[in-house]
Amino acid sequence: MAAVSEPRGINHGAVLLEMAGFFGHEGHGLTQILGPLIIDTLVGMGNDRDAATQSMHTVVATLTANPL
C-alpha cells in the first residue's frame, strides 16, 4: 500500500503547488520538479535510476505526441 500512496501524495502535492503558482508561470513544474521527484522516489523504492529515467522520457514523449 505504501508503494501506491507515495506517488499519489507526490502528485497531489505537486498539483496543488502548481495551481497556486509556486512553480512559476512557465509551465515547467511537471518536467523540472515533479518528474525528478518521482524518479528519486522510484529509485528510493528500489528501481534502477536509468530504467526510471528512460520510463519518464517515454511517458513525456508519448504525452507530447498525443496530448490528453
pTM: 0.66
How would you write the pLDDT of the chain (68 residues) with one tens digit per residue? 566 677 788 888 888 888 888 887 777 777 788 888 889 988 988 999 999 999 989 988 998 888 77
Largest CA distance in the chain: 34
**7: closest CA among 65, 55, 66?**
55
CA-CA distance, 50 to 22, in Å (whole number)?
29
**6: closest CA among 33, 54, 44, 60?**
44
CB neighbour list of residue 49: distance below 8 Å, 6 or more residues apart: 39, 43
